[in-house]
Amino acid sequence: MIMKACKNCRLVVYTGEKVCPKCGGELSEKLSGMIIVLEPERSEIAKLAEINVVGTYAIKVK
């Protein structure tokens, strides 16, 4: 399995699928940087990145 990130919501997943399990967006292998959000309500980074669901996210997805 390959690590991919969603172009739409930036969720990082290990999958052989081509679409995001969360939003159905297109997945890309070209991602750079990752942030792990454990407490979206309390995380300043999550607020800046507009993330409100626990998970691992790519900072940039091409």
Residues in touch with Zn ion (CB under 5 A): 6, 8-9, 11, 20, 22-23, 25
The answer to whether residues 44 and 51 touch, using CB atoms and an 8 Å cutoff, is: no
- Token pair of 53, please? 């669901």
Instruction: Work out how close the CB of 22 gets to Zn ion at its nearest, in angstroms, rounded to a whole number.
Output: 5
d(CA 9, CA 46): 12
Minimum CB separation of residue 19 from Zn ion in Å reads: 8
In the bound state with Zn ion, the residue whose beta carbon lies nearer, of 26 and 38, is 26
Residue 5 beta carbon to Zn ion: minimum distance, rounded to whole angstroms: 8
